[in-house]
Every structure is written in structure tokens, then in C-alpha cells.
């Protein structure tokens, strides 16, 4: 019996538009949360460093976060190129979460080198947020890539603007848990990174 090679294949194709819509919703939400976490680290990190070691080193904490993001971007990009976006993003967010926890420990022990190491690793959250934005264009139609990428960038901006309000709230909540002042925002920033992905 001959096979008709011109007949249409019946294999189910994924609904790319539906997957893209779901991806954009997820990215929009996570970029708001990530924007809050990263901005808290930048703002509160300098205040925490000044509290522990004096104002002369306050800027070093912020610089450590920026350097950490830059250093982590290269291996994360390589992992994404070989294994896809998810493993790279999971690694970057996990490194950022570990950094946040080290900052909390540094605040409790008042150990300055641990604070700077924590801020260096906390920069992983920044690297993850920046890399995650490009997931918005993976399945986008060419004509809509710019619009969809800008939507995700705006989500980060919303989180960054809201962050100062959440920093004060996180600090008030965690003071009751026995954490020192200015450590709470880092504990809250690290918490979402351990959620299943």
C-alpha cells in the first residue's frame, strides 16, 4: 500500500501563542518581585554596611553587588547557551539567595568581610533579573519582540519603585524574629528564590 507523502501530518503542534502569553504573565510577576528584591539590596546594603562598619565603606557594599552581577553573568550565559534558560536562571537566583542569607548572617555577627561576600553573591539576583528579561522574546513573533521585552522591563521598574515601602515593612516584621535592623529585607529578598520553579 502506497503512502501519500503529500498528506498533512497530524502530529499535534504546541500552541505557541498560549505558551508565550503564559510566559509573559509569569515573567511580569517575577520581574516585579525581582525588582523589589534587587532594589532593596542596593538601597539597604549601603545602610547596613554603614551601620556595621561606618560610612566610609557604605559604597563598597553596593559596588560588591554590581561586581557580583557582572561576574556571574558570564557563566550563567554559558549555561543558558548549552542547557537552556532555566538552569542558568535557577543558578543565578540561588546564588543571589545564598548571598542574601550571608548578608543576614553578617548583620547578626557584624562581620564586615562576610557582608561584602554576601553582597557579591547577592548580585546574582541582578544577573538573573537581567537575563530573565530575554525569555520574553524567545517565542515572540518578530514584530512583537520589542513590545514584549519592554513590558517585562517595565515590570522591573514597578518593583524598583515599590521596593522602599517593602524594605521598611520587611524590617519591622523580622525585628520580631530576632533579626538585627536592616537584615530583614535581605531575608525577604532571598525567600522567593527557594520556591519551586
pLDDT in tens, 21-37: 888 888 888 888 888 88
Q: Residue 130: which domain range?
A: 17-194
9 domain residue, yes or no: no
Check which CATH number belongs to the domain holding 29 and give it.
1.20.1250.20
Q: Which residues contact 69 (CB under 8 A, 6 or more apart)?
A: 123, 124, 125, 126, 127, 130
Q: Which residues contact 129 (CB under 8 A, 6 or more apart)?
A: 31, 34, 35, 38, 156
Looking at the structure of the chain, the number of domains it has is: 1
- Under DSSP, the state recorded for 196 is -
- What is the spatial distance between Cα 37 and Cα 39, in angstroms, rounded to a whole number? 6
1 domain residue, yes or no: no
70 domain residue, yes or no: yes
6 domain residue, yes or no: no
Per-residue model confidence as pLDDT tens digits over 135-158 = 888 877 888 888 888 888 888 888
- What is the spatial distance between Cα 109 and Cα 48, in angstroms, rounded to a whole number? 12
67 domain residue, yes or no: yes
Taking CA atoms, 129 is separated from 5, 116, 136, in Å, by 47, 21, 12
35 domain residue, yes or no: yes
- What is the spatial distance between Cα 141 and Cα 24, in angstroms, rounded to a whole number? 13
Per-residue model confidence as pLDDT tens digits over 70-90 = 999 999 999 999 998 889 888
Per-residue model confidence as pLDDT tens digits over 166-176 = 877 777 877 77
8 domain residue, yes or no: no
114 domain residue, yes or no: yes
pLDDT band of residue 6 (cuts 50, 70, 90) is low
Amino acid at each position: 500500500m502506497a503512502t501519500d507523502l503529500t498528506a498533512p501530518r497530524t502530529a499535534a503542534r504546541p500552541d505557541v501563542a498560549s505558551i508565550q502569553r503564559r510566559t509573559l504573565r509569569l515573567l511580569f510577576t517575577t520581574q516585579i518581585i525581582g525588582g523589589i528584591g534587587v532594589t532593596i539590596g542596593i538601597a539597604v546594603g549601603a545602610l547596613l554596611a554603614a551601620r556595621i562598619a561606618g560610612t566610609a565603606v557604605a559604597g563598597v557594599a553596593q559596588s560588591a553587588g554590581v561586581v557580583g552581577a557582572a561576574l556571574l553573568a558570564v557563566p550563567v550565559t554559558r549555561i543558558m547557551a548549552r542547557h537552556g534558560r532555566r538552569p542558568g536562571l535557577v543558578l543565578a537566583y540561588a546564588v543571589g539567595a545564598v548571598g542574601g542569607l550571608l548578608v543576614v548572617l553578617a548583620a547578626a555577627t557584624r562581620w564586615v568581610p562576610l557582608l561584602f561576600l554576601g553582597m557579591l553573591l547577592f548580585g546574582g539576583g541582578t544577573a538573573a533579573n537581567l537575563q530573565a528579561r530575554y525569555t520574553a522574546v524567545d517565542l515572540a513573533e518578530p514584530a512583537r519582540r520589542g513590545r514584549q521585552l519592554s513590558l517585562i522591563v517595565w515590570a522591573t521598574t514597578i518593583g524598583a519603585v515599590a521596593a522602599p515601602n517593602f524594605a521598611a515593612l520587611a524590617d519591622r516584621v523580622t525585628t520580631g524574629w530576632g533579626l538585627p535592623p536592616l537584615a530583614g529585607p535581605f531575608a525577604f529578598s532571598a525567600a522567593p528564590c527557594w520556591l519551586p520553579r
